[in-house]
Amino acid sequence: MKQFSDKALQDFNLIDRAVGDDDEKAYAELMKRYKTPVYHMILKMIRNVDDAEDLTIEAFAKAFKNLHKFKKDFTFSTWLFRIATNNTIDFIRKKKLDTFSLNTSLKNDDGDNVNIDLEDQNLDPQEEAIKVQKIELVHLFVGKLPPKYQRLVRLRYFEELSYDEIAQELEAPLGTVKAQLHRARELMYDLVKGKKDHI
């Protein structure tokens, strides 16, 4: 039987509490443990702070939505990093970004290098499905945001406008748009980790 580190066993306990008891504190603790490393891994891949923050939210939303499917055959961190990596690669292929690096020297809780298994597939026919899945995830949260943030999030996630384009659309200063979107993201993090019905 595979031996897991103390941290991995603590993660398993948190997952049991999150799935079995719908324990908001367990979700929050899992996010607290891995939000920063997931964000930095994604940032190395796409080199864009705003997109990395968006993709970090998506990674946790997908992971928490599927947490009941998690099998304790490997560590939670390995599973989470794979979700985050594959989601980011979907984003890269869709946006046709220039380059990215998987040489992120990630290690799991046992100190072993994490091997990211990538499916060799042409995502072009699936782009619409990916977009729909992404919108469904964000729809879980956007309707629960205060009204002043909802339009910003819809423009950013659903219409996929850049920050400059959003500023033009709303006739608002770029700095204001960035600040409000940052706040909206923080509220969405709260929703993702707490699975709250409202803010």
| pLDDT at residue 77, as a whole number | 92
| Secondary structure element (H or E) that encloses residue 47, with its range | none
Distance CA 41, CA 85 (A): 8
Look at residue 182 in the predicted model and tell me its pLDDT. 85
| Distance in angstroms (rounded) separating the CA atoms of residues 198 and 44 | 33
Give the mean pLDDT of the chain: 78
Tell me the pTM.
Answer: 0.63
What are the mean pLDDT values of the chain's consecutive 10-residue runs (199 residues total)? Answer: 83 92 87 92 88 90 89 91 90 65 51 48 50 60 80 79 88 90 83 58
Supply the pLDDT for residue 120: 38
Contact 41, 84 (CB under 8 A): yes
Q: What is the pLDDT of residue 42?
A: 92
pLDDT digits (tens, 9 = 90+) for 107-153: 555 555 554 444 434 444 455 555 555 556 666 667 778 888 888 88
pLDDT for 101: 46
Burial of 11 (0-12, 13-18, 19+ CB in 10 A): buried
Domains of the chain: 6-194 (1.10.1740.10)
Query: CA quadruple 121, 80, 128, 45: dihedral positive or negative?
Result: negative
Check residue 199 and give its pLDDT: 43
Q: What was the pLDDT predicted at 108?
A: 54
Q: What is the pLDDT of residue 15?
A: 94
C-alpha to C-alpha distances, 43 to 34, 54, 132, 174, nearest whole angstrom: 14, 11, 24, 22
